[in-house]
Each structure stands twice: as C-alpha cells, then as structure tokens.
Amino acid sequence: MNRINLIQETRNILAKTGFYISDDNVSRLICFDIVARRDNQLIIIKILTNVDSFSKENARELMVLAKLLNGVPLLIGEHSSQKKIEPGIIYFRHNIPLVHISTLTDFFTEGIPPLIFAAPGGFYVNIDGEVLHKTREAKKISLGTLAEVAGVSRKAIQMYENGMSTMIDVAIRLEEFLDIPLVKPLEPFTINSKSEEIRIEITKSTGIENEIFNQLKELGYNVVPTIHCPFDALTKDSKVLIITGVGKPNKKVTEKARALSNLSKITEYYSVMFLEKMLRKSNLEGTPIIHTAELKKIADSKDIITLISERGD
C-alpha cells in the first residue's frame, strides 16, 4: 500500500469509529497527516510506508504538538529498511508509538487491543502483578520455585509482581505453570514512551513573525514556534491555547487560514491569523484576523481572546 492509500485507509478507519478528522493533507513536509478527536481523546498521527524517513526532529515536534494540544502522538508505518512492522505489536520510533494499520483497525473496529510491545532486547508484555502475587501465595509457591520455572531470578519475580514488564517467553512459562492468564492488554494511545526534553529551536522565523511573537510574549503568552506545520506557532498561557498563523493577504495565507480553522474545530482550541496588511473582513476562511497594527495597541492578553471570540466564524 502506498502512502496516499495508507493515509486514506487510516482516515476511513477513524471516520467509521466516530472520530472527527482534520482535512486531508498528504505533504511529506508536514510533521503530521491527521489530527483526530473522539470525545476527550485527541490523536496526532504521522503516516509513512518506510518509517526510516521519520527523523528525531519530526518526533520532537510531534511530541511538542501532542503535549501542548493535550493529545497523543502516533506513527503508522509498514516497514523500515531492516524489518516489517508486524500487526498487533507496539513499536517505538524516536520514542513515538509506532503501529501497523491493522493494529489500528483491530483496536478501533474490533475492540482487540495489542498485547506486545517492542523494546531493546526483544518483545515484551505487561503482566498483572497483583494477580501473579495473589496466585503464587494462594498456591503456596515460593519465589525461588517460580523463578526456576520462568528462568529468571527471584528478584525478577518480585519486580513482575510490582508491575515490571517481561519478555514474551517468560510470560508464557508463568501462565502455563500457574494455569491463569497474566498478560494485560496495552492501550496504544495511553502507553508511555520514554520522556525526553521537549524543545524546538527555531532559526527560520521571518521579521514579521519575530515581531508578533515578541509582542505576544510581552503580553504574557508563551509562544512555541513550529517548523513543519500548517501554522506558525502555538500560543498559550495558563488558561488558553491559540493555534497561530502569521502572513500577508494572498492565496497561501488563505490556505493557511483554512487549515487553522479546521484544526481549531477538531482540537477545540482557539485559532487566529495575524496579518501584516489590513483586510475589510474580520475572519479569513473562518479564522479570526488580528492586524499587526491592532496587536501593537493591545495592552491586556484578555483583549486578544475577546477579539478572537468576536471575529470567529
């Protein structure tokens, strides 16, 4: 399946299972392909056939977006240069969860969660440590006996009982010996990847972008510029987040405004377009417009939200 077909199939799966989906975008230069929301669940998805092209820079920006938008990042792929992405397994690529599209299908359409995740050294599963501990005590099995059966140390058994994951073959030996199910299903969209410092260094901001971002910072907002996104920054304070665009009135900025409006509806966050030149209209493609001359006169950050609310579609 080529990338375009893979994106469309993913969109179909999400649509059939009740998600609101962002407009179609197949550009490889964008750090995500789909933003999808169902109730309080927001997923930000990048789709590639060969996941080798997904760089650390892509992953960092996807993490930033997910963190600020209160969503979950996800990579869907078919293979790398070394191996296929197998169904039913959660992998990680630069700490972003990675699955095959059939894993997505099984989970959302059939209610079948994955059981296995890949980590250094092989494939692992989560064991229900409480069940393991209670069963071992009920059957009066010592740590040493269970450790010998599983082929691990006594300390490892104790750690399994406290919630540590284990390799598949160990879990199978424990289940067969105790004659009970121990493996816990995984939730693909809450599983924690390794945390790392989330930062994007921006070196390409234009003069007008820097001017607007600095003015927003003076008003008390934190501004996180973006690189491979259909918008220019995420602007936030302790109460609100604004998907932010910057530009001049032209066809390109109209397309950007349309993307901002769509993402605002999907994520349920504010959006705004800061324009260098005046327009007679108060919004563009549903995205509220604030002109740079207006921004310079604003003394209170709340006034920006008032303008956005008044000028929204």
- Spell out the domains of the chain, with CATH numbers in brackets: 3-114 (3.40.1350.10), 122-184 (1.10.260.40), 207-311 (3.40.1350.10)
189 pLDDT more than 60: yes
What residue spans of 98-206 are helical by DSSP H?
101-109, 129-138, 143-150, 154-161, 168-178
pLDDT at 195 over 50: no
**pTM of the shown model:** 0.89
Position 27 confidence tier, pLDDT thresholds 50, 70, 90: low
Mean pLDDT of 222-250: 91
Question: Across the chain, what does the average pLDDT equal?
Answer: 90
Using alpha carbons, select from 277, 310, 298, 283 the residue that is nearest to residue 208.
277
Neighbouring-strand partners of residue 127: 183
pLDDT at 270 > cutoff 90: yes
Task: Check pLDDT > 50 for residue 196.
Answer: no
Token pair of 57 as six digits: 């820079």
> Is pLDDT of 151 > 90?
yes
Instruction: Find the mean pLDDT for residues 90-112.
Output: 94
Residue 271 has pLDDT above 90, yes or no: yes
Phi, psi of 255 (to 5 degrees): -65, -40
Question: What pLDDT is recorded for position 82?
Answer: 87
Residue 197's pLDDT is 47
Q: What is the per-residue pLDDT for 194?
A: 46
pLDDT of residue 202: 44
Segment 284-307 mean pLDDT: 93
Mean pLDDT (whole number) for 81-100 = 94
Helix (H, G, I), strand (E, B) or coil at 46: strand
207 pLDDT above the threshold of 70 = yes
Identify which of 311, 77, 104 has the alpha carbon closest to the alpha carbon of residue 187. 104
If you search the block for the tokens 């003394």, which residue do you land on?
Answer: 299
Distance CA(135)–CA(130), nearest Å, equals 8
Q: What percentage of the chain reaches a pLDDT higher than 70?
A: 93
- By the 8 A CB rule, do 119 and 147 touch? no
